[in-house]
Amino acid sequence: MQAVKGKDTGPEMTIRRLLHSAGYRYRVHRCDLPGCPDIVFSRARKAIFIHGCFWHGHDCARGKRVPKTNTRYWVEKVARNRSRDARVQSELCLDGWGVFVIWECELADRHLLSRVNRFLSQPGTYPNALTA
């Protein structure tokens, strides 16, 4: 797992390019915030997390996949990640931050930018902030 990148991953770079080309300016990896969000809009108090489906246990086909070796370890690892994600998102929401999660499998969604626009234009937290 040492070779697995935690920052500047392919999906993260794709989202960052999309947002930048749409005219958004943001900060990346604000580690002074809970969970060190991938993309942060400080003035708007909005945070975006870009989750890999396997690593964060998404309910898509890729996220439901279970490795054939060391199965118990991986099931527990993903469960810990999901628990941490829920705790971090809750902490941010309680501090008045809006939280939006983009899953790796959603990168091909042609409506992704409009969903992000809607999230950034709404005051307060996004209604789907704590969905897994």
DSSP symbol at 106:
G
| List of the chain residues with pLDDT < 50 | 126, 129-132
Handedness of CA 76, 32, 125, 103 (dihedral sign): negative
pLDDT at 125: 53
SS3 67: coil
CATH number at residue 100: 3.40.960.10
pLDDT at 7: 81
pLDDT at 123: 80
Domain membership of residue 34 (yes or no) is yes
SS3 98: strand
pLDDT at 131: 43
Q: In sequence order, which residues have a C-beta less than 8 Å from that of residue 55 and are 6 or more positions away? A: 78, 81
Structural domains in the chain (count): 1
Domain membership of residue 53 (yes or no) is yes
pTM > 0.95? no
Domain membership of residue 113 (yes or no) is yes
